[in-house]
């Protein structure tokens, strides 16, 4: 075997060794790639699992919050219904009480007025002179004033100056003998109960 043949054979052996190393490296890289892909799949699977657990936890939390809000809403709705029912009962009760108070007040007034009406009827049916009739009317007026006194009704004073809170002026005159804003004449007597005016005194005012 010549020198060149030996070299050629050595080169062939080296090439074969290189090829073998390449194949081994390729196989090793493929194995590493497979391992890496498996690791990625495992990591992805773990992440998906963690995400699902987080989502389930959030869903559970939201469900509990919704349940709590629903219970609070039902409690408020029940409370509102109770308050509404209580107010409706209160309104009906107070309305009935007001009607009862008004009815009782009317009865109390009529009890005092009816005797006055009786006296007027007797005066019309009675036979007698004008003086007798006048006396009967005076007695009836006295009975009416007594009834007013029992009911707390009093005549409005018109002997002082004009007061728009108590008097109603329908005429004005100029009179040197009277003071400014003084009541000159009463056309219709007024009455009040405590601070409430039943009827204003109708008057003529001077100056």
Residue at 145 is within a domain: yes
Are the CB atoms for 185 and 204 separated by under 8 Å? yes
Distances from the Cα of 164 to the Cαs of 39, 94, 158, 171, 172, in angstroms?
A: 103, 35, 12, 13, 14
pLDDT, tens digit, for every residue of 115-162? 888 888 887 777 778 888 888 888 888 889 998 998 899 999 998 899
Asked whether residue 3 carries a pLDDT value surpassing 50, the answer given is no
Residue 29 has pLDDT above 70, yes or no: no
What is the tally of structural domains in the chain?
Answer: 2
CATH number of the CATH domain containing 166:
2.30.22.10
Does one domain contain both 119 and 163? no
pLDDT (0 to 100) of residue 14: 56
Q: Do 146 and 99 fall within a single domain?
A: yes
> Are residues 172 and 137 in contact, defined by beta-carbon separation less than 8 angstroms?
no
Q: What angle (nearest 5°) sits at the alpha carbon of residue 51, between those of residues 46 and 56?
A: 125
Domain contains 183: yes
* pLDDT of amino acid 9: 55
Q: Do 133 and 163 reside in the same domain of the chain?
A: no
Task: Quote the domain boundaries for residue 115.
Answer: 95-151
Statement to judge: residues 158 and 206 lie in one domain: yes
Q: Does the model's pTM come out above 0.85?
A: no
pLDDT bin (cut points 50, 70, 90) of residue 4 is: very low
**pLDDT of residue 198 exceeding 70:** yes
In angstroms, the Cα distances linking 64 to 52, 61, 77, 78 are: 18, 5, 20, 21
Residue 84 lies in a domain: no
Single out the residue in 110, 126, 151 at which a domain terminates.
Answer: 151
In a domain, 134, yes or no: yes
Instruction: Give the separation between CA 152 and CA 194, rounded to whole angstroms.
Output: 7
Which residue, 110, 108, 116, 124, is CA-closest to 146? 116
């Amino acid at each position: 075997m010549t020198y060149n043949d030996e070299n050629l054979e050595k080169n062939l052996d080296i090439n074969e060794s290189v090829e073998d190393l390449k194949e081994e490296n390729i196989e090793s890289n493929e194995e590493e790639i497979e391992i890496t892909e498996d690791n990625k799949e495992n990591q992805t699977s773990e992440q998906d699992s963690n995400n699902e657990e987080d989502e389930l936890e959030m869903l559970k939390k939201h469900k509990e919050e919704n349940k709590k809000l629903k219970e609070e809403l039902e409690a408020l709705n029940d409370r509102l219904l109770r308050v509404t029912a209580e107010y409706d009962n209160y309104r009906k009760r107070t309305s009935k009480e007001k009607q009862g108070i008004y009815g009782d007040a009317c009865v109390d007034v009529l009890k005092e007025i009816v005797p006055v009406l009786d006296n007027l009827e007797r005066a019309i049916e009675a036979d007698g002179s004008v003086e007798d009739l006048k006396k009967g009317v005076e007695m009836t007026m006295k009975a009416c004033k007594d009834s007013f006194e029992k009911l707390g009704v009093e005549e409005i004073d018109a002997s002082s100056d004009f007061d728009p809170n108590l008097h109603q002026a329908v005429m004005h005159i100029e009179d040197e003998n009277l003071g400014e804003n003084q009541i000159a004449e009463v056309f219709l007597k007024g009455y009040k109960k405590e601070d409430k005016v039943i009827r204003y005194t109708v008057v003529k005012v001077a100056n």
